Structure 1
């Protein structure tokens, strides 16, 4: 492989490379830079996230533009604000010795007036998101009619996000004789269409095989019942005490929900999704880069701008709708020559998706077991022991040793060690000692992702009757969403939902029984009393569909009360596996009225 000196870069760029600590070019840089420096050509480059694509197009662009001109000569399109800012900062670092260079970031969520003013000062290179640059073109705030180089970075992701029309409109405002450089992790049909429409005989380079995952990442999947997904996530985190991860969810709502649950359970977590303001996104990403956040819960779109080399794990809390997106997710880890792990939590009905992804990434997944409670206790104990062993002694403690020694003068060495480690160990032991096995086999019966469950009765769940059905506008999905919203439950806490014409059935874990019954005591929905009772048929089979859908009851409609219901439990929230604990002291956030349950407090970094 060549050195950077062999690639033909000028002295200004080589000085910046030395300052950045780069020693050897990556494979995509080694292949792309000589082609782009020595030819006025179009290029299609396929390479995984984290392989150094920005430098692969950044160095050639910086060397070929005219720094002395104030005309915009280079346009770089990227899918998200985060990635736009990241590319802009990197281009400025690469061109730090190029006097007069002006690189401007153009993206939504920031002042369009300020961005237009920066461009008018003379921006040789604009880095932009498609939506904002298209808006500026239509307002005549930017002129890209004389650009010489156009880069489509993360082209597959931009097209996945629905930017095809925007990209075609933007490129139609550029000269036909420009050079177009397309960089992508995967090569779906839409990317090929763009290449054929706007490129002429492009050079093609591929790092690895098309769509293939990097060899630095190992792939694992964990098979659990869908309603145990969140508890499985917590166990995976607890089994990896030094985890620094991105947790992927499909929707913004699930992203926020999972992040809030993790925070309430004592994890250093945060959410990153499209509903956050730019300032909120910046704060979250700043905390993540400083490792104040160890578990960043994100949507696929929001995560496109994450460029952090030390991510140890990617956890797919939910698989993406498109298997190709998994390649982008797993590319968040195993960067800069480091190894990483991509974990997938799946229910039985999703196992077939694993096989589809394997064919795309050309890697096999290893099926692993969610660790049991005692395994986690051992891992946490040894992690603490290693941290103590590696801790540098602070001799400021010496002046307190006399009093400490007096306190423990009758304690043996073994007893002292046991006492010391019991502080940490006991919390995890109490939490996990009665925890259940979350693992299931692929051959076991399970419910599908619709929430309908075809298993027989299960001793750890309760089946309920509710006096609403299809004639009230509910199907199983709407009823499940209604129950989750009313009871403030997670997406997997309500299952085995079955709707009839005038009544329905659903299940929750036994531990939620008191809360469910209490909440629906004297509960009205759209002026009608909605009553929930424990179903006589606990197995979840068909209940006698009496004429008119009515149940036999001696109580008038306005006074139906479930036996044992306690209205004070209406606000209780039970999301964890075990017995409840009082809320941790010192918490004064907006959720202070909601109890936190049975997870030992994690130590903060």
Structure 2
């Protein structure tokens, strides 16, 4: 018996699960599905985004619904068009072997008459955004007076977006004896009031700790001067060459401005905010899912509905006003069992906000130093060397080789490698070698930081940074690499910090008094027959700021061309004079 069979699911659903390649139910699925199948009960489930909530309510609803009847029996409310469509698509995959079951999505920005026609043909399950659902009820285009099941998905997000009255109006058109299943990442008072008003003795399920952040997310903050936010953002991007991230800003104006500046500086960036048309939003999101956009700059409202599992970083360009909003932001990474990093760029005056968030999410932040120019150059140099090594040779070049050999005649191998790397590296190095230390004085010089030029020897507060020749390509993320180092060296978890994994290499820090032990341990050290090399990094890479904070344990305006255009293509490859990679951009 498989783990999904043990939950009580019927064979048509098990066949669909097999097709989808699901093997082990997530915690929220394991806790919710048996309860919803065995009992006719209301349910409140608190779980972070990316934990498999759609299947947790989708499988039981599909199994309980009568597919032979054309009556609408299930209603699922979700906050955004994107999430509405995603839930609909997933339910269709889950029910592929349930004959006659129809799932219809209704949302704004599409033909209301066409959606009404689809419902009239027979839709046992309707997935809707609150605004469009209320509109269709008012026009008598949909009948939810006989539904048996109602799901409020991402309830806290719907209420944060101002849908409280709409939800109350919609639920007043449903039968009192229906079952209501509420799924939410946090439980603010507005969600509790909905539960109290429309639910009867609900079973409560909590995955993790109530309102806590996901354990797979590492929380970091970087303290800078107010004018250095954008420069800090660029450094964080350049220090993580494989970054695939969402960058959060408070306002639509800041979102557009930051995205445009990133595109101007050559990054694969895009903007997502409320001033974009639906077509523009779709273009940006499709590009992001295909990773043509590596840095999606978004407002909190526009980002609701982004459901991409392999986001590596969330960058808080500005902190939100509400702590619950930070929980949602950080929940965009570290999904589906993968690890992620939530970075916060703050000024000294915002330090108290970090303490408030720590208290709410029940996790500590790590204060980190922004990488120096030299450290970024080192990371990019390793990345470039690896890129050259892994590049597949294009055989069409063979015809040109005799002429190329003539041009390169007389240059020995070592000199040729230097010249190849310098072609792309020099401009990048020239930019960063002249830049200043961006770290705020409290986390910089006064705390053993780097000098004004962004250089320095090994930090003078006892922290040493190391290079190790394994990374994400070898199956490591920051969590598993930390565990590997701890087990190999027989150290405590807090003895290894500031772990940064890249594609084919990584960095980590320890206290200076064990440097000799570290290097001796990794002399002629092999894993699965492969040498694993560790050496002291030439750049400082994280002085005291790489550990936990002291005292703890351990879009500008419119474009000149009149556009609020959905995307813009730029050149790819090479480095530009401003230090960023030349990449295509969307906004």
Q: TM-score range by the shorter chain?
A: 0.7 to 0.9
Q: Secondary structure at the match of 1:301?
A: helix
Residue deviations 1:489-539 (CA, integer Å, cap 9, x gap): xxxxxxxxxxxxxxxxxxxxxxxxxxxxxxxxxxxxxxxxxxxxxxxxxxx
- Cα shift at 1:336: 1.3
CA distance in 2, matches of 1:161, 1:416: 58
Matched, 1:93 2:73: no
| Partner SS, residue 170 of structure 1 | helix
Check the 8 A contact 2:267/2:580 in 1, yes or no.
Answer: no
Distance 2:229 2:288 in 1: 24
Aligned to 2:138: 138
Residue 39 of structure 1 corresponds to 39
Q: Tell me by how many angstroms 1:354 deviates.
A: 0.6
Shift of 1:589: 8.8
1:555-604 Cα distance to aligned partner (Å, 9 max, x none): xxxxxxxxxxxxxxxxxx9xxxxxxxxxxxxx9999xxxxx973444356
> In 1, Cα distance between the equivalents of 2:297 and 2:131?
25
In the alignment, what sits opposite 2:339? 339
Shift of 1:441: 3.5
Task: Indicate if the aligned counterparts of 1:80 and 1:304 stay in contact, CA closer than 8 A.
Answer: yes
- SS of the residue corresponding to residue 343 of structure 1 reads strand
Could you say which residue in structure 2 is the equivalent of 1:203? 203
The separation in 2 between residues aligned to 1:352 and 1:332, in whole angstroms, is: 24
Give the equivalent residue in structure 1 for 2:403: 403
Q: Deviation at 1:397?
A: 2.5
Supply the distance in 2 between the matched residues of 1:589 and 1:39 (Cα, whole angstroms): 54
1:2 touches 1:25 (CA, 8 Å); kept in 2? no
Q: Which residue number corresponds to residue 312 of structure 2?
A: 312
In the other structure, the counterpart of 1:598 is 578
Task: Name the CA shift for 1:385/1:443 in 2 (closer, same or farther; >3 Å).
Answer: closer
Measured in 2, the distance between the counterparts of 1:10 and 1:168 equals 34
Deviates more, 1:191-200 or 1:398-407: 398-407
1:363 maps to 363
Q: Using the TM superposition, give the Cα deviation of residue 405 of structure 1 relative to its aligned residue in structure 2, in angstroms.
A: 1.7
CA shift, 1:156, in A, is 0.7
Note the aligned Cα RMSD (angstroms): 2.1
2:212 is equivalent to residue 212 of structure 1: yes
CA distance in structure 1 between the partners assigned to 2:261 and 2:428 by the alignment: 18
Deviations 1:192-247 (A, max 9, x none): 11111011110001000001111111000000011110111011101111100000
- The structural deviation recorded for 1:364 is 0.4
Give the secondary-structure state (helix, strand or coil) at the position aligned to 2:191: helix
Match of 2:270 in 1: 270
Q: How many residues align?
A: 460
1:395, CA displacement in angstroms? 3.0
TM-superposed CA distance for 1:398, in Å, is: 2.7
Off by >3 Å, runs of 4+ in structure 1: 441-445, 587-590
Q: Secondary structure at the match of 2:304?
A: helix
Whether the aligned pair in 1 keeps the contact of 2:44 and 2:205 (CA below 8 Å) is yes
Tell me, in whole angstroms, the C-alpha distance in 1 between the residues paired with 2:87 and 2:358.
Answer: 31
Displacement after TM superposition at 1:429 (Å):
1.1
Deviation at 1:110, TM superposition (A): 1.1
- Indicate the residue corresponding to 1:518 in structure 2: none
- 1:439 alignment counterpart: 439
- How far does residue 277 in structure 1 lie from its aligned partner after superposition? 1.4
**Aligned partner of residue 305 in structure 1, secondary structure:** coil
Are the structure 2 counterparts of residues 293 and 589 from structure 1 closer, same or farther at C-alpha, using a change threshold of 3 Å?
A: closer
Partner of 2:330 in structure 1?
Answer: 330
- Secondary structure (helix, strand or coil) at the match of 1:36 reads helix
| Match of residue 296 from structure 2 | 296
Q: Secondary structure at the match of 1:437?
A: coil
> Alpha carbons of 1:185 and 1:600: their partners in 2 closer, same or farther (altered >3 Å)?
closer
Give the Cα–Cα distance (whole angstroms) in 2 for the partners of residues 281 and 231 of structure 1.
27
Match for residue 172 of structure 1?
172
SS of the residue 1:296 aligns to: strand
Q: 1 CA distance for matches of 2:349 and 2:372?
A: 23
Query: Deviations along 1:238-283, whole A, 9 cap, x unmatched?
Result: 1111100000111111111111111111100001112211111111
CA drift of 1:288 comes to: 0.4
Counterpart in 1 of 2:247? 247
Query: Displacement, 1:160?
Result: 1.0
Return closer, same or farther for 1:257/1:603 CA change in 2, 3 Å cut-off: closer
TM-score, structure 1 normalization: 0.74
CA distance in 2, matches of 1:94, 1:441: 55
Q: Tell me the CA shift for residue 388 of structure 1.
A: 1.5
Distance 1:285 1:331 in 2: 18
Instruction: Report if the CA contact (8 A) 2:263-2:583 is conserved.
Output: no
Q: Any idea what SS the aligned residue of 1:234 has?
A: helix
Measure the CA separation in 1 of the matches of 2:96 and 2:580: 48
Q: Distance in 2 between matches of 1:116 and 1:401?
A: 64
Residues 482-521 of structure 1 mapped to structure 2, 5 A cutoff: none
The structure-2 alpha-carbon separation of the partners of 1:93 and 1:337, relative to structure 1 and needing over 3 Å to count, comes to: same
Distance apart, 1:399 and its partner CA: 2.9
Structure 2 equivalent of residue 150 of structure 1: 150
Counterpart of 1:286 in structure 2 is 286
Shift of 1:370: 1.0
CA 1:400–1:443 in 2, change beyond 3 Å: closer, same or farther?
Answer: closer
Task: Please show how residues 84-123 of structure 1 align to structure 2 within 5 Å.
Answer: 84-123=84-123
Residue 378 of structure 1, CA deviation: 1.1
Runs (5+) with no aligned partner, structure 2: 446-559, 561-566, 571-575
Separation of aligned partners in 2, 1:405 and 1:307: 50
Deviations 1:366-387 (A, max 9, x none): 0011111111111111101111
Contact 1:245 1:313 in 2 (8 A): yes
Check whether the contact 1:431–1:600 (CA below 8 A) recurs between aligned residues.
no
Higher RCO structure, 1 or 2 (CA under 8 Å, sep 6+): 2
Q: Which runs of 5+ in 1 are unaligned?
A: 446-572, 574-586, 591-595
Q: Would the alpha carbon gap of residues 589 and 309 (structure 1) be closer, same or farther in structure 2, given more than 3 Å must change?
A: closer
How far apart, CA to CA, are the structure 2 residues paired with 1:402 and 1:604? Answer: 34
- Is 1:24 the equivalent of 2:24? yes
Q: Secondary structure at the match of 2:334?
A: coil
- Aligned in 2, Cα 1:2/1:11: closer, same or farther, shift over 3 Å? closer
Structure 1: distance between partners of 2:322 and 2:20: 36
1:52: how far off?
Answer: 0.2
Q: TM-score, normalised by structure 2?
A: 0.76
Residue aligned with 1:76, SS: strand
